[in-house]
Amino acid sequence: MAELEQSEGGNALDAVSQSVKLMEENELFNAGKGSVFNHEGKHEMDAAIMDGKTLLAGAVSGVRNLKHPILLAKAIMEKSEHVLLANSGAADFARTMNLEFAPDDYFFVQHRYDQFLVAREEGSIVLDHTVPGDEKKFGTVGAVALDVFGNIAAATSTGGMTNKKWGRVGDSPIIGAGTYANNETCAISCTGHGEYFIRSVVAYDISCLMEYKGLSLKEACDIVVMKKLVKMGGEGGLIAIDRNGNIEMPFNSEGMYRAMKRSGEESFIGIYND
């Protein structure tokens, strides 16, 4: 999860899509190259992007062999009349946009495969842990940003959960659950056990608490991540920024890989609750 604030005239939407694109190329993360394996031993990826200025959004679910699902989400937002495309139809649209595909072995990472073999044997569906044995820190990637024009944006990309079946879709591509942005409130990208994030409509709930109740970003995040999700048993966290540049990165798990950078300030990188 990466948090950015642009200072040199770039826009928030490009900042979040380019950050996520870079992380999709890094096999350490569960997104793009390095995505977890589904029950068939394949990679099915989800991604979403939202523009806080226009409230336009694009999302993709269950796409296979696409190197950068986030670029497809952005193309869906900008070049189609739709918000969410899925599976082979999404891939067909990606081809019309000339987006890059790669064979299965491009996405292969040994420890994710080992994790998959164990999960399939046990019949369990599990959250990705980026480093083997590294419990309770998630590998989905996301970025939120505020630009000099006062616009905010959010983007998220993931391979979902290991050993998922039946076309399971997580929270990441569900606008309002795992990804949301609105210049009036905040931009949010989530990671964690998607089913809980969908049922709690996490990202939109935080935005609503700010919009309708006048809460600060921090107050809204505390309620949703540390109280509501915990009460339901939903493990995970999120990164968030508001239009004033306030940043929150709450998580109720043991850790969450995260970083932030404000113009003119030192960057921050964190794993545990420190």
Span from 78-86, 115-123, 170-178, 254-262 in contact with ligand ASP (CB under 6 A)? 170-178
Closer residue to ligand ASP (CB): 58 or 139? 139
37 contacts ligand ASP (rule: CB under 6 A): no
Q: How many residues bind ligand ASP (CB under 6 A)?
A: 17
Span from 90-98, 155-163, 200-208, 257-265 in contact with ligand ASP (CB under 6 A)? 155-163
- Among residues 81, 31, 10, the alpha carbon closest in space to that of 189 is found at 31
Residue 40's region, left for phi above 0, alpha for psi from -120 to 50, else beta, is alpha
Catalytic residue among 140, 162, 179, 191: 140
Q: What is the rounded distance in angstroms from the CA atom of residue 61 to the CA atom of residue 63?
A: 6
Known active-site residue 140: yes
The least distance separating ligand ASP from the CB of residue 54, rounded to whole angstroms, comes to 25
138 contacts ligand ASP (rule: CB under 6 A): yes
116 contacts ligand ASP (rule: CB under 6 A): no
- Among residues 145, 229, 141, 224, the alpha carbon closest in space to that of 186 is found at 145
191 contacts ligand ASP (rule: CB under 6 A): yes
128 contacts ligand ASP (rule: CB under 6 A): yes
∠ CA 243-248-252, rounded to 5°: 150
Span from 56-64, 72-80, 136-144, 246-254 in contact with ligand ASP (CB under 6 A)? 136-144
x/- string (CB under 6 A) for ligand ASP, residues 195-234?
A: ----------------------------------------
Give the binding site for ligand ASP (CB under 6 A): 30, 127-128, 138-140, 158, 160-161, 170-172, 178, 191-194
